[in-house]
């Protein structure tokens, strides 16, 4: 494959994945010391924390998706290649990709995580996940199509199933999605579908552990659950889903629910690649690394972000799979790679937790920053400001802010479009094609 030649003292660093970790690292590496090859399956970076708003018609996909070449056009040492990694050849310092082989001096794996269905094939085939823009659009289409089907259904049980939405997983993704759908039910859908009685619509959030939002305190989680229940969401804790066939949901307590839409947000797993030392790959496909993010059994390869597993005293199960961890690991690795080239001692990674937050919707959120616990309207404002600051590009910040203000003033969302790509294929092939898409590998 055609790759530009290195200049002077440059070492070639190949980064796999353009999520928070990979993109931050590519931007932080010095052009004096490094030539960067950034590989991703897609030509864009996506802001995953707001995918649920795409799924609920609150934001355009383009508002949270950013072209890599636009982001990195002023970084002259970074070269982008759209490809899939097929295999790693550690002994040869080379990777095999869908567009050819690439040699490296240092390899950094930052391909993120994917939905974990815990080997349940029925759940994987019939549920809906939300790890990419494509999956968020697919979920949006499904929700809107189900309302259209309910409108014309003469079968009461079928109509109830179409109007019953089950969300599995009480983390931030499931929590915020449940709140957004509840707001649609309360403020928008009765106006769009006056012939339907949305008092019959159920939104059920199921969590296997004893409470929602395990990353925040029990006090804040209890308040957050109260916000959800006040919006009409039915919360079931200490309950897990055994199976889902596309129509019936089987719960651990023996209950059966009828639903045509189950959203699976109950966990993620890593995406390990072929060729890694077996000792470095955990059963959940996360990659074992040391305190410097170096992959176990490899001298010049590193893993950062969601795919990296770095246990320590405070985090015996590894660090949280969230954006702040990925960004902090990338920033430190950029410094450490320069230290390695200059034969200086690298620094060990220490995670600085700046807090956690989650929102239910209008004026309702919980925020924890150190000893401070904030809830309600103030927390909601903080949540919006933090997310706006994290968005790439002034244009995208303005678009999102305008959408939020419009929704706040009018109680409406203007993006309730059913998009049907691949019109030349049948519905089954169409849905299969969309659902097979993933952001990175």
Reported pTM: 0.91
Q: One of 176, 183, 207, 368 is an active-site residue; which one?
A: 176
Q: Is a pLDDT exceeding 70 seen at residue 437?
A: no
Closest by CA to 418, choosing from 57, 138, 141, is 141
148 in catalytic set = no
The structure tokens 């410097």 sit at 292
Q: Is a pLDDT exceeding 70 seen at residue 427?
A: no
**Residues 284-309, mean pLDDT to the nearest whole number:** 97
Alpha carbon of residue 82 to chain centroid = 20
Q: List, in sequence order, every residue forming a beta bridge with 356; answer none if it has no partner.
A: 368
Q: Is a pLDDT exceeding 80 seen at residue 7?
A: no
Q: List, in sequence order, every residue forming a beta bridge with 40; answer none if it has no partner.
A: 82
∠ CA 421-138-153 to the nearest 5 degrees? 95
Pick from 94-108, 293-307, 416-430: least confident: 416-430
Residue 440's pLDDT is 38
∠ CA 199-186-65 to the nearest 5 degrees? 130
Residue 428's pLDDT is 52
SS3 per-residue string spanning 309-363: ECCCCCCCCCCCCCHHHHHHHHHHHHHHHHHHHCCCCCCCCCCCCCCEEEEEECC
Q: Is a pLDDT exceeding 90 seen at residue 414?
A: no
Can you list the domains of the chain with their CATH numbers? 11-41+83-115+268-341 (3.50.50.60), 121-266+355-435 (3.50.50.100)
Residue 191, C-beta contacts closer than 8 angstroms, at least 6 positions apart: none
| Residue 19 pLDDT level (bands cut at 50, 70, 90) | very high
| Burial zone of 423 (CB within 10 Å; 0-12 exposed, 13-18 middle, 19+ buried) | exposed
Residue 431's pLDDT is 54
């Amino acid at each position: 494959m055609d790759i530009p030649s290195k200049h002077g003292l440059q070492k070639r660093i190949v980064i796999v994945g353009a999520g928070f970790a990979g993109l931050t690292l590519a931007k932080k590496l010095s052009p004096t010391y490094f030539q960067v090859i950034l590989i991703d399956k897609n030509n864009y970076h996506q802001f995953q924390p707001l995918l649920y708003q795409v799924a609920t018609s609150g934001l355009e996909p383009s508002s949270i998706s950013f072209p890599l070449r636009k982001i990195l056009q002023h970084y002259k040492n970074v070269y982008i290649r759209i490809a899939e990694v097929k295999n790693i050849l550690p002994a040869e310092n080379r990777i095999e990709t869908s567009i050819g082989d690439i040699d490296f001096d240092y390899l950094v794996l930052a391909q993120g995580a994917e939905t974990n269905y815990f080997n349940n094939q029925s759940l994987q085939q019939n549920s809906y996940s939300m790890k990419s823009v494509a999956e968020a659009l697919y979920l949006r289409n499904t929700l809107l199509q189900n309302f259209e089907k309910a409108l014309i259904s003469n079968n009461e049980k079928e109509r109830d199933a179409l109007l019953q939405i089950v969300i599995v997983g009480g983390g931030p993704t499931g929590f915020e999605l449940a709140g957004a759908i509840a707001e649609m039910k309360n403020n928008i859908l009765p106006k769009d579908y006056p012939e339907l009685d949305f008092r019959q619509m159920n939104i059920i959030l199921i969590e296997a552990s004893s409470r929602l939002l395990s990353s925040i305190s029990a006090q804040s989680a209890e308040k957050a659950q109260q916000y959800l229940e006040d919006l009409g969401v039915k919360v079931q804790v200490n309950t897990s889903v055994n199976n889902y066939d596309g129509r019936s949901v089987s719960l651990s307590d023996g209950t059966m629910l009828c639903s045509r839409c189950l959203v699976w947000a109950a966990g993620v797993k890593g995406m390990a690649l072929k060729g890694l030392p077996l000792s470095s790959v955990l059963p959940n496909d996360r990659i074992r690394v040391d305190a410097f993010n170096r992959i176990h059994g490899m001298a010049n390869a590193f893993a950062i972000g969601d795919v990296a597993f770095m246990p320590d005293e405070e985090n015996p199960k590894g660090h949280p799979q969230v954006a702040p961890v990925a960004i902090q690991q990338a920033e430190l690795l950029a410094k450490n790679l320069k230290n390695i080239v200059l034969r200086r001692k690298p620094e060990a990674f220490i995670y600085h937790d700046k807090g956690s937050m989650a929102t239910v919707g209008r004026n309702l959120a919980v925020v924890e920053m150190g000893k401070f616990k904030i809830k309600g309207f103030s927390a909601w404002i903080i949540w919006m400001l933090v997310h706006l600051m994290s968005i790439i590009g002034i244009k995208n910040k303005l678009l999102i802010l305008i959408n939020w203000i419009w929704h706040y003033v009018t109680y409406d969302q203007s993006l309730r479009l059913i998009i049907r790509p691949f019109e030349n294929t049948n519905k089954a092939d169409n849905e299969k094609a969309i659902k097979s898409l993933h952001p990175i590998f």
